[in-house]
Amino acid sequence: MTRAVIWDFDETLARRSGRWSDMLVDVLDMESPGHSLTASSFMPGLSHGFPWHDWERGHPELSDPDRWWDYLRGVLRGALEGAGVSEPLAARALFRVRSEYIRLDRWAVFPDTEPALDRLRRLGWRQAILSNHCPELPDLVRGLGLWDYFDVILTSAAIGFEKPHPEAYARVLRDLGHPQAVWMVGDGPEVDIAGALRCGIPGVLVRRPAPGFDYAPDLMTAVETIELAPTGV
């Protein structure tokens, strides 16, 4: 039996020290030291506009990395200008966002990630990442030392479809060779688990419990849940 686990990445396997709003503070610190803006200053402008906020239609037109980042800069520009940042300062800050967001020293793997991945690998499970993420996700996975655990690494920025769009799941299943048993593990109740269930893929929610979802407090517990399930034998 071919068996596979599909993993979310951000906040499931690894975490960035600071998300989009914090990153905007960081790039402003570089360009305008002493400014008074905080991450919360940008939250209203970051509550919409990202590709995953409009996942229903998909975004195959953004599957080129430069085009994806150009689109993202437009979203981030709106958040900066909405917080009162001048256009010249916003332009200088936006020039830095791509390199700043993917800085490897800003990312850390959770302590339970490698033990869980290693256990599944030793048991013969195929493993994939399916993440709503930037084009450089494969580089991040490699830089964080996780590359060898995965048979497939897919980022929405490259495939043009964001979870929970059915095509995102269809794509990872195709790339995995349509395994006979497959599970989804992620921290997003709707984006990861409910989306997978609608495609016939059972899932385990991790990191943050939510009513109505099978939950595991850590990745090793998630792996044990999968192993004990009827499709995990």
Q: Hey, where are the domains in the chain?
A: 3-15+107-232, 17-105
Mean pLDDT of 203-230: 95
The pTM of this model reads: 0.95
Question: Which pLDDT does position 6 carry in this prediction?
Answer: 98
3-15+107-232: CATH number = 3.40.50.1000
Q: Write out the chain in H/E/C secondary structure.
A: CCEEEEECCECCCEEECCCHHHHHHHHHHHHCCCCCCCHHHHCHHHCCCCHHHHHHHCCHHHCCHHHHHHHHHHHHHHHHHHCCCCHHHHHHHHHHHHHHHCCHHHEEECCCHHHHHHHHHHCCCEEEEEECCCCCHHHHHHHCCCHHHCCEEEEHHHHCCCCCCHHHHHHHHHHCCCCCEEEEEECCHHHHHHHHHHCCCCEEEECCCCCCCCEECCHHHHHHHHHHCHHHC
Q: What is the pLDDT of residues 153-192, one digit of tens each?
A: 999 999 999 999 999 999 999 999 999 999 999 999 999 9
